[in-house]
Amino acid sequence: MFEEPYRWMEAVSTRHNYVQEKLKMGQPVLSVPFDSGVLIMGFAPQPGKIFEIYDRIALGGVGHPADVERLRMTLLDMAHLEGFNRSAQDVTLARLLQFGIAPALKQNFEEIQRAPYIISLLLVELDSEGDPNFFRVNYDGHWETFKNGTVVAGNAKVMDEMQKKIQDTPFATYTLEKALEETCRLWGESRKHYEDDDESIPKTLKEAFDQWYLEAAVLSGKVERRAIYRALTKEEIEKLKSSVG
């Protein structure tokens, strides 16, 4: 097949179509700054979309749960090896992506005898100065950097529209409470663009709170403790539900 480039290109194109079709119903995960850190959130029928990776790094995933978990473990191993061999300050998302996971994803996708990863990843960090960096990583290893927040979703049109709204909203000036309310509203608005007849999928924000789990976590830049990652408490989620439901 490698002697017939058109056959290889056709196979790669088929893989793109296959993965995009599998991801199509993946629900959005958003990450935005707020006045004292970074928020990452999303709704899902079961927990398993948002994770801590390292001291100042978090991950949100859309796609097959097994693939998200496999890449989470890969990033964990890379981060801890980097921290052990160099220092914790040297563990940055740019290094993990550029020299680690992005090349691995690209190689996996282009080796057409292997099953492709069905994922879209959102990665966020607070750097040593306390400034947020946002990254979006595709199943084929392509990654992008954002400064004011980003989103991943299975539907490309929904993702692009939500990205524009994130860029136009001054999240960095918001309190955590207001940032949560606005991201929930953005998530709720995204449901209008999904064309599906599956009754198990919430059609409104209220239904999402009632039927699914809200996963949300923050990286706080204004804490004295070493651990700056924390999941939202039940009390915070209930208060949020009351304010936007």
Q: What are the pLDDT digits (tens) for 89-108?
A: 888 999 999 989 999 999 99
From the list 173, 165, 175, the residue with the least C-alpha distance to 240 is: 175
* Domains of the chain and CATH, by start: 27-244 (3.60.20.10)
Confidence of residue 218 (pLDDT cuts 50, 70, 90): very high
- Amino acid occupying residue 101: I
What confidence tens digit (pLDDT) does each residue in 59-88 have? 999 999 999 999 999 999 999 998 888 888
Answer yes or no: is pLDDT of 51 > 60: yes
Query: Using CA atoms, how far apart are residues 103 and 204, in angstroms rounded to an integer?
Result: 38
The alpha carbon torsion through 142, 148, 153, 158 (nearest 10 deg) reads -110
Confidence of residue 245 (pLDDT cuts 50, 70, 90): low
Q: Quick one: 144 exposed, middle or buried, by C-beta within 10 A (0-12, 13-18, 19+)? A: exposed
Q: Write down the residue that tokens 């990863």 correspond to.
A: 117
Show Cβ contacts of residue 27 under 8 Å, excluding neighbours closer than 6 positions: 42, 43, 44, 62, 153, 154, 187
Query: Using CA atoms, how far apart are residues 161 and 186, in angstroms rounded to an integer?
Result: 10
